[in-house]
Amino acid sequence: MDWHNFKKQFENELTDNILNFWVKEVYDTRRRTFFGRITNEGKKYPEAALSAVFTTRVLWTFSAAYRFYPTAIYKKMADEAFRILMETFWDNENGGIYWSVFPDGKPEDTQKQFYAQAFFIYAMSEYWLAFKNEKSRQIAVSAFMLMEKFAFDPEFGGYIEANTADWKETVDQRLIPRDLDVKKSMNTHLHILEAYTNLYRVYKDDQLKEKLEHLIRLFLDKIIDKNTGHLILFFDKDWTVRSEIDSYGHDIEAAWLLHEAAEVLGNHDIVEEVEKVAVKITDVTIAEGLAPHGGMYYEKAEGHLQEQFDWWPQAEAVVGFFNTFQITGDKKYLTQCEKSWKFIQEHIIDKKNGEWFWGVGADLKPLPGDKVGPWKGPYHNGRMCMEMIRRIGMVEK
């Protein structure tokens, strides 16, 4: 393996394609905000609302990128995302952030989705790591306390999905219309885990440490199916299983995020337990979730394989397979990582207009999803590049 060349590929993809696209195409200097929607063809919608998911992911990505490449434009992008979140998303009356706002700053959807609160914590922690902005750490801790006050379930453990703007019970818990309307989901727990991991890097608090360990145990004991090696996606409040969907991208993403959380927590026994689980998840993903050409299927629901290859599972596959290579030293996982990266290079990256397509179908032609939108930010692909740059650097040594 030519490690230097391999790392250079991810460096070039991150700086020359992904981040460059977001700086040049997504930030509107005239309006001092981001375009909330851009199509594959490059059509921009200045009236499109900004989602909390989108905006927090911009903040996280450019803060993280600044730590690799401390350039003024990356700081500018992070600063603008921080300003927009604090000026328009933050609820000055009740705390927490709204789900979406219009470009003029007026709220579109005021629901307090705890998935979004988690990404807010994740991004604010990263902003502190990059720029040592004390307000960002204070607001991240405040959001953590709100999460524990209103989302944590003291009876059965874990976290509910959503509240109203003033933290009351809401009639609809779903993240997106196709989800089940249930009290608890794997997806929200995965990103609370991710958020608390990053917050613990900047806030060494005993309660936070306890909650992070609780989240890891929830995955090991309830969310990961011990028989199949897949994550269970939806639950009732008492953890009664409500779904039979295998989400391959979430499986492999959880494998490495759990490992990261255990290492940041610093408990050797938990690290060892998580590593065994991560290898099992990876083996199941390779056996069941990959097409012969190396692309990762989106999901399997009720026995039916959805033959499309969205951008984010491909990105998570690269990191997840490399992480398992690091755990085991087995080069078969490195080979699988290279295959996933090659699939991205050949089919997911838009070599003409920049950034990545939403995905490709069974015919390997681009899907019609937008290039920039409420769920399409620079986070999965940007984070993949940064993780690979960091991890290859560790292996090189």
Which secondary structure element, helix H or strand E, spans residue 281, and what is its range?
A: helix 268-288
Tell whether the torsion through CA atoms of 104, 105, 111 and 115 is positive or negative: positive
Buried b (16+ CB within 10 A) or exposed e, 87-98: ebbbbeebbbbb
- Residue 88 is classified by DSSP as I
**pLDDT (tens digit per residue) in 147-196:** 999 999 999 999 999 999 999 999 888 888 777 889 999 999 999 999 99
How far apart, in whole angstroms, are the C-alpha atoms of residue 172 and residue 378? 28
From residue 128, alpha-carbon distances to 60, 78, 222 in Å are: 10, 11, 33
CATH number, domain at 319?
A: 1.50.10.10
| Average pLDDT across the chain, whole number | 96
Q: Which of 160, 166, 3 is nearest to 91 (CA)?
A: 166
How many domains does the chain divide into?
1
How far apart, in whole angstroms, are the C-alpha atoms of residue 75 and residue 79? 6
**pLDDT (tens digit per residue) in 241-284:** 998 899 999 999 999 999 999 999 999 999 999 999 999 999 99
pLDDT(231) > 80: yes
Q: Taking CA 327 as the corner, what is the angle to CA 228 and CA 316, rounded to the nearest 5 degrees? A: 65
Q: Where are the beta strands (DSSP E) in the chain?
A: 27-28, 33-34, 50-51, 100-101, 107-109, 112-113, 162-163, 184-185, 234-235, 245-247, 299-301, 304-306, 308-310, 359-361
Q: Give the list of residues 6+ apart from residue 379 with CB closer than 8 angstroms, or none.
A: 57, 60, 61
Which pLDDT does position 180 carry in this prediction?
80
Residue type, 140: A
Which pLDDT does position 396 carry in this prediction?
85
Q: Give the list of residues 6+ apart from residue 54 with CB closer than 8 angstroms, or none.
A: 34, 36, 372, 373, 374, 375, 376, 377
Which pLDDT does position 199 carry in this prediction?
98
Which pLDDT does position 211 carry in this prediction?
98
Q: Which of 65, 101, 62 is nearest to 80 (CA)?
A: 62
pLDDT(38) > 90: yes
CB atoms within 10 A of CB 108: 15
Which pLDDT does position 181 carry in this prediction?
83
pLDDT(331) > 90: yes
**pLDDT (tens digit per residue) in 95-127:** 999 999 999 999 999 999 999 999 999 999 999
Antiparallel, parallel or unpaired: β 50-51 and 100-101: antiparallel
Q: Model confidence at 237, in pLDDT bands (50, 70, 90)?
A: very high
pLDDT(299) > 80: yes
Q: Which of 264, 369, 262, 390 is nearest to 318 (CA)?
A: 390
**pLDDT (tens digit per residue) in 360-388:** 999 999 998 899 999 999 999 999 999 99
Which pLDDT does position 330 carry in this prediction?
98
pLDDT(63) > 90: yes
CA–chain centroid gap for 134, Å, is 24
Whole-structure pTM over 0.85, yes or no?
A: yes
Range of the domain at 335: 3-396
